[in-house]
Amino acid sequence: MDIKSFYIAFHDPIWVLILTTGLFFPVRKMIWVLYVRKKQKSQKTVSDDEKKDLKKRATFTSALLCVVFSYLYVIQVFN
């Protein structure tokens, strides 16, 4: 199997993976900041343990959002 046939067969998954990776870290940071600010409205201070829990929550949410958005974007643009 040469590289051209491999690329044609896996074109969409490769681009979904690249776009998901590129979006994941900025989206996770933005969602985490929003979570922390929301928590600070109800409490004046947010402990480090709560920040770690919010970071885990933001990680899951951003991974889900980035994969779905990347898949829809690649399907819309490349097909």
- pLDDT value of residue 65: 97
Higher pLDDT, 5 or 30: 30
Whether the per-residue pLDDT at 6 is higher than 90: the answer is no
- pLDDT value of residue 2: 72
How far is the C-alpha of 31 from the C-alpha of 25, rounded, in Å? 10
Quick check: 56 and 62 in contact, CB under 8 A? no
pLDDT in tens, 12-62: 888 999 999 999 999 999 999 999 999 999 998 999 999 999 999 999 999
Say how many CA atoms lie within 13 Å of 68 toward its Cβ: 7
- pLDDT value of residue 1: 61
How far is the C-alpha of 76 from the C-alpha of 8, rounded, in Å? 17
